[in-house]
Amino acid sequence: MSIGRTLTARLRGGLGNQMFQYAAARALADELGMDVVLDTRRGFQTDKVYRRTYALGKFPIRAMHATRWSEWPYAIEGIIRKLRMGHPAPEWVTKRPWGYMLTEREYVYFAGAFELKPDRNIWMNGFWQSEKYFASRRDAILRDF
């Protein structure tokens, strides 16, 4: 895998949630010509009740794992959210000096994700539970699983 522009997806939840998150990230990255990076750590740090962990390791998925260095935009977004008294930005896409934050604002399909013309990296945060995100890449996603 070449490292060019990257799309980093924060994984969280159980196996089903992680499969949707990966599938949406993979399809969007393929569409935009980017490499996929999975944040397999930060999304699980606060899961104190169920203690879920990364569950996609047994599948032949096409993604790299995030390093602590590549996770820092999530930490900065957390600080920004705290400064907003817990309220996230109302936009799905927020342009930052380091790249784009693509944050699911409600549990509906967001077609605007595929309209991005990013000149920088993207960080995704959300559950992305709609087949519409990866319907055009269905066969490739099935091979990954």
Question: Which pLDDT tens digit goes with each residue over 49-68?
Answer: 999 999 999 999 999 999 87
The pLDDT tens digits for 74-102 are: 777 777 777 776 666 667 888 888 899 99
pTM of the model: 0.88
CA atoms within 13 A on the CB side of 87: 5
For 25-42, give the DSSP string. Answer: HHHHHHHHT-EEEEE-SG
Residue-level pLDDT at 4: 80
145 CA to centre of own chain: 17
Outline where DSSP puts E strands in the chain. 6-10, 35-39, 64-65, 93-96, 99-103, 121-125
Secondary structure of residue 133 in the 3-state scheme: helix
**Using an 8 Å Cβ cutoff, are 37 and 65 in contact?**
yes
